[in-house]
Amino acid sequence: MGEPPHHLADRTLEALGLAVAPREDPLVYPGAWPAESGLLDGDRLLPLTRRTFPGRVPVLAVGSNASPAQLRHKMRQYELSSPIPLVKARVTGLEIGVSAHVSALGYVSAAPFRAPGHTRELFLTWLDPAQLAAIDASEGVTRPSGAYDRVVLPSTGFRVEPEPEPDPGDPSDPYDSGDSGGSDGSGGSGGSLDGVHLYVNRHGVLQDGTGTPRVHPGERRLLAQLLAESAGLRKLFGSTPEEFCSRARGDLRLCAEGTRLFAREGRTTASGLEKYVRGQQTGSPGTGESLSPPWR
């Protein structure tokens, strides 16, 4: 791909404030997101001029999969080193909610819910088949008891618009081949992208007490709210966010009990995205059946 001509020291995740993964520190979930589109290449986030990538699958990130540190952690676990493009996109029809399950990684993660007409900025990760299989495994897609399914968003009711392509031929882009065409089967740059994938929680999402899905406010604030609202949750996980993460981390039995408690207390509701799940998404382009998910 070639190196960009400028000095790269200031492009490390450490220098950019993007180096801490939620898998290492659950209370930072969902982790720091980049300020701009970029190419995750090992420990660096490089400039990126293209916005679509033929042969790769566009997957919306609503939680820690938009964190370069989290992506780096997952890719290293599966011994993958190829770069990952992260592209800012304007997304209509979705909002970031709270998954109705407790992860044994020590946090309560994000999950999307349907929000007609609502528009916000999210990141698209463009994944090759091996990377997609790794993320599938990390999300539990390949197991019936896993937390998430991967779905393809329909064009009706949703819009995913990658930010506009910069001037073509920028020599600073290590991914630029002089062809900035759209991905296979998707819309071109400057419009709505078709064939976008999304991870949907099988347990539904948490509601705010009125039946409306609650928005994920960041892990520390979320856990403080949940613990204040539920004596049962405090009995299981302690009274502080720090205690919650410490007790949950690595304890599959306790996390399963916490997930059941959400349901028993009537805290869960549908995300509105369940109807788009069409069975296990384990075939082409991903091959996640062969990968083992960590702590899920």
Count Cβ neighbours within 10 Å for each residue of 181-190 and write b for 16 or more, e otherwise. ebbeebbebe
Q: CB of 40 within 8 A of CB of 28?
A: no
pTM of the predicted protein model: 0.85
Place of tokens 């980049």: 34
Q: Please enumerate in sequence order all residues whose Cβ is within 8 A of that of 25, keeping only pairs 6 or more positions apart, or say none.
A: none
The pLDDT value recorded for residue 286 is 37
Question: What's at 85, amino acid-wise?
Answer: P
Helix, strand, coil percentages in the chain from 3-state DSSP, rounded to 5: 25, 25, 50
The pLDDT value recorded for residue 8 is 53
Q: Please enumerate in sequence order all residues whose Cβ is within 8 A of that of 281, keeping only pairs 6 or more positions apart, or say none.
A: 136, 141, 149, 150, 151, 197
The pLDDT value recorded for residue 166 is 80
| The pLDDT of residue 119 is above 90 | yes
Q: Across-strand partners of 38?
A: 86
Q: pLDDT by residue (tens digit) across 185-220? A: 444 445 899 999 999 999 999 999 999 999 999 999
Q: pLDDT by residue (tens digit) across 131-151? A: 999 999 999 998 888 899 999
Q: pLDDT by residue (tens digit) across 25-78? A: 999 999 999 999 999 999 999 999 899 999 999 999 999 999 999 999 999 999
Q: How long, in residues, is the chain?
A: 296
The pLDDT value recorded for residue 183 is 39
What number of CA atoms fall less than 13 Å from residue 38's CA on the CB side?
22
Question: 168 falls in which pLDDT band (50, 70, 90)?
Answer: low
The pLDDT value recorded for residue 174 is 52
Q: pLDDT by residue (tens digit) across 209-254? A: 999 999 999 999 999 999 999 999 999 999 999 999 999 999 999 9
Q: Please enumerate in sequence order all residues whose Cβ is within 8 A of that of 235, keeping only pairs 6 or more positions apart, or say none.
A: none
- Can you tell me the distance from the alpha carbon of 150 to that of 136, in angstroms, rounded to the nearest whole number? 8
| The pLDDT of residue 263 is above 90 | yes
Which stretches does DSSP call E strand in 47-195?
A: 57-61, 84-98, 110-127, 148-152, 159-162
Question: 10 falls in which pLDDT band (50, 70, 90)?
Answer: confident
Average pLDDT over residues 126-132: 98
Peptide bond preceding 285 in cis form (omega within 30 of 0): yes
Residue 47, classed as helix, strand or coil, is coil
Residue 91, number of CB atoms within 10 A of its CB: 27
The pLDDT value recorded for residue 179 is 37
| The pLDDT of residue 281 is above 80 | no
| The pLDDT of residue 127 is above 70 | yes
- Can you tell me the distance from the alpha carbon of 256 to that of 291, in angstroms, rounded to the nearest whole number? 22
Q: What is the 3-state secondary structure (H, E, C) of 259-292?
A: HHHHHHCCCEECCCCHHHCCCCCCCCCCCHHHCC
Q: pLDDT by residue (tens digit) across 99-110? A: 999 999 999 999
Question: 296 falls in which pLDDT band (50, 70, 90)?
Answer: very low
Helical packing angle, 241-248 and 219-229, nearest 10°: 100
Question: 279 falls in which pLDDT band (50, 70, 90)?
Answer: low
Average pLDDT over residues 172-194: 51
CA 171 to chain centroid: 30
Residue 16, classed as helix, strand or coil, is helix
